[in-house]
Chain A
Amino acid sequence: MTATIGSRMLRKEDPKLLTGEGKYIDDIHAPGELWMGMVRSTMGHATITSIDTSEAMEMPGVHAVYTGEQLQEMGLWIAPLPCAWPVTEDMVNPPHFPVAVGEAKHVGEIVAVVLADSRYGAADAAEKVIVDYDSLPAVGSIEAAVAGDVMAHSDLESNKAFHWPLIPDPEGTEKAFAEAAHTVEARFVQQRLIPAPMEPRGCMAIPSPAGGDITFYSATQVPHILKVMIAATTGIAESKIRVIAPAVGGGFGGKLNVDADAILSVTLANHLGVPVRWTESRTEAAGSSHQGRGQIQYISAAADADGKITSVKVHLDADMGAYMMLITPGVPLLGSFLYTGVYDIPNLSFTCDGYFTNMTPTDAYRGAGRPEASYAIERIMDMMAHEIGITPEEIRARNYIAGGEAFENYDAASTLVFDSGHYRPAHDRALEMAKVADLRAEQARRRDAGEAKQLGIGMCTYVEICGLAPSRALGGLNYGAGGWEHATVRMLPTGKVEVVSGSTPHGQGHETAWSQIIADKMGVDPNDVEVLHSDTAKSPLGLDTYGSRSLAVGGVAIAMAADKVIEKAKLIAAHQFEAAPEDVEFEAGSFSVAGTPSKSVHIQELGFAAFAAHDLPDGMEPNLQEQVSFDPPNFAFPFGTHVAVVEIDTGTGGVELIDYVAVDDCGTQVNPLIVEGQVHGGIVQGAAQALFEVANYDEDANITNPSFMDYLVPSAAEMPSIQLDSTVTPSTSNPLGVKGVGEAGTIGSAAAVINAICDGLSPYGVTDMEMPATPQRVWQAINNSNGGAA
């Protein structure tokens, strides 16, 4: 079999997953395991007055019940759950222990833990624990947090956790607004979303019978980060902790945290000397796993008489939830650099205030800060077009960086340098594929005929920041780690290639993509490549998978390590040929001497030569293995144009997404099949934010739709087929020219869908639509309008 960078190779991961042999966390068992059952706060904010565990203790199969107070006294941890991103020196970060002591601060916070010998037994016993609460006033919305009449934490005097500014040129911004021919401003709500990977979270800690070591299985995106953080939180030495992520059923950011359950299972297993496990239930997840988004955005834009945008000003009020989790405060900041979008806008002013509420903590969800930014700038571009009286296409064309032509190393107002871009081809192709001219004609016809079903066409031209991240840039943002990735490539004695990946898949197809990179570089069959990952014993160094970083950082590290192996192999080949290394050529896996192609040796044969070491060049170390830690010099900036077409039933307010076109540019593609899959899934998640999904809280901070009954993850029936194409503008940030694509779909689609709805409803005077655009909201907007035009 041959495969190269760019082939549509079928995935190596599929056979196990298609036959039920994939092992997810809940499929793995250990003898003697105890199940944790979590007793969770049913109150948004309350004093815990008493906890009665006696009845639970009597239940059959129950081994122990611990309250927060008892666990605190047992001294199982040395630090609260970690926040690795204190965004400012004076950020307020109240201690967040795995189990609440004294005061519960959100529905779902753990107040006691049951250990029982079965899944059902743990659930039964948890229900028998009687907790008495004195309710406290709760903060159930960002608005309430900002108003500050009620404190989310009783011992704090303000709900505000931090203020973070990015204002590179304050005078420039003010001047642009003072001199503007047109200004528009808007307030957008980025509702809270539940990441909802189809596999709920879960974990199991197994103490080894001797030596005090712990093997920790977790449905996590970040086994390496987890290992460091477990050590730092529990005081157990890193050398004694092995973290394994088995098959992981999706993440989308929802599995990149250090949660209470992880610390509880590790420390209780260590304490009791038996395996301790937990599997989240779907409804429980609304309070046990972090949520995404949760921002109110205030944005204004200034333009000159020609419709050239001269400045963008943004303020965010961001909902942290009850506590700071791993990167909670950093998420809105990840978007800060993108509020000028794909446009040549000379001034940006951005501020963000983070607030505590009594809701589930927020943290990363697919796109993390960047979909929010893209939404705001892409909505305000449409509003500005409307204000000036030009089309959405036209205002974009007038404002593209480099006029829509190809560019490299663009200095953005945000202070970042965009690696490369070429925006106009994707724009033109998307409009052509969507047949926008025909759609406009049909739209006009329906408007004139006053038909009940109106058409709306919306576009979004996004850019995102991928390849997280240059370590120095992270240092500048006060992030508590680096952004490099590690890889090892070994040519084994048998001629098989072993690749050790520091990035960690949960559906992305790393085994396939990494095999293709190796096959392309080394000229071997991709089936001769074995990829080791997701186990800190096999892959001790790594920074895992999030922020569309796996390929742009981890994949690049693998390619670089392969190059080093080839370099060393070449020296061995030259030695065997008794030729000068400069005269040795490498082609399709074989070394030969220039001019004498008959004499050749395949790189897979040199694995044994390097291993046996009978006849290596003087001074050369045996074995053919190389490792690379790649720290990218810059981020990568993928981009694209999306077009959404909606049909709006003006009688019911129902919105149907009837067509979707996306032309994305993620630089060089390793496997277009995988790229397309990532884009499809991302588009549906973003469209779901626009149309269906919201975690609803009442004013007492109770979530009112925690299960899949009423948290509306869309099915196939609600989504259309998606038309895709791509352009290829290689990144200049890495030698493969790759940019990353995991979040692109989500970053482009919410704005495209809402722009389409606003376009469809423009005859009714509708200029904005809050997400999700439920039939009720849409109907209301139509009926609030001044008479209706259709």
Chain B
Amino acid sequence: MDVSMTVNGSTHANDVEPRTLLVHHLRDGLGLTGTNIGCDSSSCGACTVHMNGESVKSCTVLAVQADGQDITTIEGLADTARSDGSSTGDMDWHPMQEAFQQCHALQCGYCTPGMVMASVSFLKENPNPTEAQIREGLEGNLCRCTGYHNIVKAVESVAGGAS
């Protein structure tokens, strides 16, 4: 089936099997391997991307369902921040990427792309969250390395900085 979607600002038209998951289309079809796969039960959030600005678990979406949609993956996140002028730090990253490094909110980095994407859209919906709200808000994203402490701090620091 033909699908066409905007991914990180460029349009990609491809022929995919109808059952292809969006995450496999992004990774295997478009070579955007930053989005990871950690489970087969929609439980871990490693595959989180933004569809039209909202986070979705890309293993629960078929590529054909993303037809005509606007997708942002971790590879494109810094660009979105650069274009709206919110990027920070020497690397000119999205503030959330910057905060993750500053707070040591990643170790192996496998959950990180999904965690960063989920955190960005969480703060969009809830710009001034309490610690408990951050923890609830990230419930769908699992990390096995950090114990979440520094991830929560990173999100708090971006929220604090933005408010």
CB contacts (< 8 Å) of A14 on chain B: these are: 100-101, 106, 109
Number of interface residues of B (CB under 8 A): 59
Contact A683 B93 (CB under 8 A): no
CB contacts (< 8 Å) of B109 on chain A: these are: 13-14, 16-18, 22, 247, 249, 507
Q: Which residues in window 407-424 of A have CB below 8 A to B?
A: none
- Bound-complex Cα distance A119 to B144 (A): 26
- Bound-complex Cα distance A774 to B34 (A): 36
Interface residue B22 (Cβ < 8 Å from any Cβ of A): no
Contact B144 A21 (CB under 8 A): no
Contact B147 A20 (CB under 8 A): no
Contact of A19 among B19, B34, B41, B44 (CB under 8 A): B34
**Minimum distance in angstroms from A244 CB to a CB of chain B:** 17
Interface residue B107 (Cβ < 8 Å from any Cβ of A): yes
Contact B147 A19 (CB under 8 A): no
0/1 per residue, B1-38, Cβ < 8 Å to A?
A: 00000000000000001011000100110001111111
Contact A680 B149 (CB under 8 A): yes
Contact A10 B145 (CB under 8 A): no
A713 with B144: in contact, given A198-B46, A249-B109 (CB under 8 Å)? Answer: yes
Interface residue B39 (Cβ < 8 Å from any Cβ of A): yes
A18 with B100: in contact, given A249-B108, A282-B38, A283-B41 (CB under 8 Å)? Answer: yes
Interface residue B131 (Cβ < 8 Å from any Cβ of A): yes
- Bound-complex Cα distance A717 to B138 (A): 7
Contact B46 A27 (CB under 8 A): no
Q: Which residues in window 108-157 of B have CB below 8 A to A?
A: 108-113, 116, 131, 134-136, 138-152
Interface residue B74 (Cβ < 8 Å from any Cβ of A): yes
0/1 per residue, A502-524, Cβ < 8 Å to B?
A: 00001111000000000000000
Contact of B43 among A199, A676, A708, A722 (CB under 8 A): A708
CB contacts (< 8 Å) of B84 on chain A: these are: none
Q: Which residues in window 1-19 of A have CB below 8 A to B?
A: 10-11, 13-19
**Minimum distance in angstroms from A41 CB to a CB of chain B:** 19
Contact A708 B104 (CB under 8 A): no
Interface residue A701 (Cβ < 8 Å from any Cβ of B): no
A248 with B24: in contact, given A680-B146, A717-B136 (CB under 8 Å)? Answer: no
**Minimum distance in angstroms from A524 CB to a CB of chain B:** 20
- Bound-complex Cα distance A27 to B38 (A): 13
CB contacts (< 8 Å) of B58 on chain A: these are: none
| Minimal Cβ-Cβ distance residue in B for A21 | B34
Contact of A197 among B108, B140, B152 (CB under 8 A): B108
Interface residue A235 (Cβ < 8 Å from any Cβ of B): no
0/1 per residue, B33-62, Cβ < 8 Å to A?
A: 111111111011010000000000000000
Interface residue A252 (Cβ < 8 Å from any Cβ of B): yes
Contact B144 A18 (CB under 8 A): no
**Minimum distance in angstroms from A654 CB to a CB of chain B:** 16
Contact B41 A713 (CB under 8 A): no
- Bound-complex Cα distance A199 to B102 (A): 23
0/1 per residue, A681-713, Cβ < 8 Å to B?
A: 111110000000000000000000001110001
Contact B107 A19 (CB under 8 A): no
CB contacts (< 8 Å) of B110 on chain A: these are: 24, 197-199, 249-250
CB contacts (< 8 Å) of A16 on chain B: these are: 109
Interface residue B87 (Cβ < 8 Å from any Cβ of A): no
CB contacts (< 8 Å) of B143 on chain A: these are: 198, 716
CB contacts (< 8 Å) of A717 on chain B: these are: 135-136, 138-139
- Bound-complex Cα distance A506 to B141 (A): 20
**Minimum distance in angstroms from A399 CB to a CB of chain B:** 30
CB contacts (< 8 Å) of B91 on chain A: these are: 15
Contact B78 A11 (CB under 8 A): no
- Bound-complex Cα distance A16 to B101 (A): 11
- Bound-complex Cα distance A540 to B110 (A): 27
CB contacts (< 8 Å) of B93 on chain A: these are: 18-19
Contact of A674 among B43, B104, B138, B142 (CB under 8 A): B104
Contact of B142 among A198, A506, A676 (CB under 8 A): A198
Q: Which residues in window 270-287 of A have CB below 8 A to B?
A: 281-283
- Bound-complex Cα distance A282 to B101 (A): 28
Given contacts A249-B36, A716-B139, 8 further A-B contacts (CB under 8 A): A19-B34, A20-B113, A247-B109, A250-B145, A677-B145, A713-B142, A719-B149, A745-B147
12 residue pairs of the A-B complex, CB under 8 angstroms, read: A10-B101, A17-B108, A120-B17, A198-B144, A684-B147, A713-B142, A715-B142, A716-B134, A716-B138, A716-B148, A719-B135, A722-B147
The 8 closest A-B pairs by CB, nearest first: A20-B34, A17-B109, A249-B110, A507-B108, A680-B147, A27-B33, A708-B43, A684-B147
